[in-house]
Structures are given as C-alpha cells and as structure tokens.
C-alpha cells in the first residue's frame, strides 16, 4: 500500500526530467505530506504522443461513478489484479500515467509498542520515483465539475522495503516510460510484466518523526531523520 508520499520537486524540474511537451501544473506547490484526495502531479500522454505534466486528484474516480467519494478509497491498484478489476481494467488498457514522488512513507509495527514507526523511503540513484499509475476522467455531477483522478499501482516490496511493509509502489525505470505512457499500447500482458519490484539497491529508508502521521503537518521537517527505535 501507499497512503502517503512526498512531492517536493518543482513542476519545471519534473517537466525537464520526464521530457514533457506541455507543463500544465505550474501552480502546484511542493508537498511534504501528500494525502488522498489532494492534487498530485501526473505525467500522461494523449493519442498524438503529446506528453503533459498536469495536476490530478489522488483517488481514482471511474467514469461510471455516481459519487466523487468513491475515489477516497481507490488510491492504490494492486499489480496482481489491475488488469481484471472493473474499476481499473479500462484505465490499465488505455489510461496509464506516471506519478512522480520524492519518496513515500510507510509505518512499521514495533514489538511491544502500540504506535507504529514511520519511515521515509526514497530513491538512491534518481531524483524521484516514477510510480506506475492509472488515470480516469469523471464528467462530474450537479455539485462537482469534471475532474481527472489517478491511482498508484502497488506490488510486492523489494528486499529493502520488506522489513517495513510487504507492499510498495511499482516504480518504472526510464527505459519503460514510453511503453507505459503510450495510450495506443493495449498489450495488457506485456504491460503487466512491467509491474515488478524495483531493485533493492535503488531504494533507501530511514526513520522519521510521527508528525507525518497527520496530513495537517506539511513541512520539510517531515523528511528529517530521527533515531531509529528498531536499529
């Protein structure tokens, strides 16, 4: 699962990193504690291979949904079932995206303690993670305008993350970005083979303060290292 992450790289830097053709998310500010239903930066392509960095709501709202609230719980899609689940399979075939992240948070249960220890998990060889994602357009209703929303695909954790949590976001290496983002690519079997854990050497972890437990706390302090009680 991935229920919280950090997005602290500027839109212009991300536009360069992902070689986008259009930057439509200039007003999105850095976020040290991204929570579900908030706006996140997303890289997606249209049928003409026009690559755009824009802001989407985190929590997938299918086009057929009657209520926007359905997206509140649809923040993650499991790699093992994403091609089959009715809420995700159409997006997996046609509307895939990349969700950039500076890193993500996970909580570890410590022996003999009720409270869980949060950890920040970040890339070691790249400036950001390129999370595999899905997106949908919801046309809206009388109370809400239409919106684009997204979900992060999660799979088994690699050896670095597994001691903290058994699942993690699927991270796409650069050589697979074009294949993943191409909306004309509907080879779901080949796409599913991309949904594997990233190499353990590409990830590092450290303990952070429990202030990250509340999405109201949104500052650089969330990423400060603290003493690891499990060390």
- The residues spanned by each domain of the chain are 5-223
| pLDDT mean across residues, the chain | 94
Which among 39, 45, 106, 136 is annotated as catalytic? 106
Among 195, 178, 177, 186, residue whose Cα is nearest residue 89: 186
Rounded CA separation 39/26 (Å): 12
Lowest model confidence (mean pLDDT) among 28-32, 180-184, 210-214: 28-32
Query: What are the backbone dihedrals phi and psi of residue 73, each rounded to the nearest 5 degrees, phi first?
Result: -105, -5
What pLDDT shows up at residue 7?
97
The answer to whether residue 150 is catalytic is no
What pLDDT shows up at residue 107?
97
What pLDDT shows up at residue 177?
98
Long-range CB contacts for residues 34-39, cutoff 8 Å, separation at least 24:
34/4, 34/5, 34/6, 34/7, 34/58, 34/101, 35/3, 35/4, 35/215, 36/3, 36/72, 36/75, 37/71, 37/72, 38/215
**pLDDT band, residue 114 (cuts 50/70/90):** confident
Lowest model confidence (mean pLDDT) among 2-6, 108-112, 224-228: 108-112
What pLDDT shows up at residue 63?
86
What pLDDT shows up at residue 231?
77
Which among 2, 39, 97, 136 is annotated as catalytic? 2
Strands of the sheet containing 203-207, edge to edge, are 31-34, 5-7, 103-109, 116-123, 203-207
What pLDDT shows up at residue 159?
98
Q: Tokens standing for 99?
A: 């969700």
Q: What is the fold of 5-223?
A: hypothetical protein yedk fold (3.90.1680)
**Which tens digit of pLDDT belongs to each residue from 5-17?**
999 999 999 999 9
> Taking residues 155-159, what's their average pLDDT?
98
Q: Is pLDDT larger for residue 178 or for residue 141?
A: 178
Percentage of the chain lying above the pLDDT 70 cut? 99
**Which tens digit of pLDDT belongs to each residue from 58-99?**
999 988 888 888 889 999 999 999 999 999 999 999 999 999
The answer to whether residue 106 is catalytic is yes
Rounded CA separation 54/43 (Å): 7
**Which tens digit of pLDDT belongs to each residue from 22-69?**
999 777 889 999 999 999 999 999 988 999 999 999 999 988 888 888
What pLDDT shows up at residue 65?
84
Taking the model in full, what pTM does it have? 0.95
Residue 220 has pLDDT above 90, yes or no: yes
């Amino acid at each position: 699962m991935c229920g919280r992450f950090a997005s602290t790289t500027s839109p212009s830097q991300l536009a360069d990193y992902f070689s986008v053709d259009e930057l439509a998310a200039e007003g999105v500010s850095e976020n040290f504690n991204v929570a579900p239903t908030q706006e996140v930066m997303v890289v997606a392509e249209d049928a003409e291979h026009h690559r755009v960095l824009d802001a989407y709501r985190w929590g997938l709202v299918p086009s057929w949904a009657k209520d926007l609230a359905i997206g509140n719980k649809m923040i993650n899609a499991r790699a093992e079932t994403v091609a089959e689940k009715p809420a995700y399979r159409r997006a997996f075939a046609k509307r895939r995206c990349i969700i950039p992240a500076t890193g993500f948070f996970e909580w570890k249960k410590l022996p003999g303690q009720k409270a869980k220890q949060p950890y920040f998990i970040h890339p070691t060889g790249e400036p950001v993670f390129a999370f595999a994602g899905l997106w949908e357009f919801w046309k809206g209703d009388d109370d809400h305008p239409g919106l684009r929303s997204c979900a992060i695909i999660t799979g088994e954790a690699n050896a670095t993350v597994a001691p903290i949590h058994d699942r993690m976001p699927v991270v796409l290496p650069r050589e697979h970005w074009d294949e993943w983002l191409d909306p004309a690519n509907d080879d779901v079997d080949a796409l599913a083979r991309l949904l594997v854990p990233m190499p353990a050497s590409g990830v590092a972890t450290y303990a952070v303060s429990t202030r990250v437990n509340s999405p109201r706390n949104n500052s650089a302090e969330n990423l400060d290292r603290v003493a690891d009680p499990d060390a």
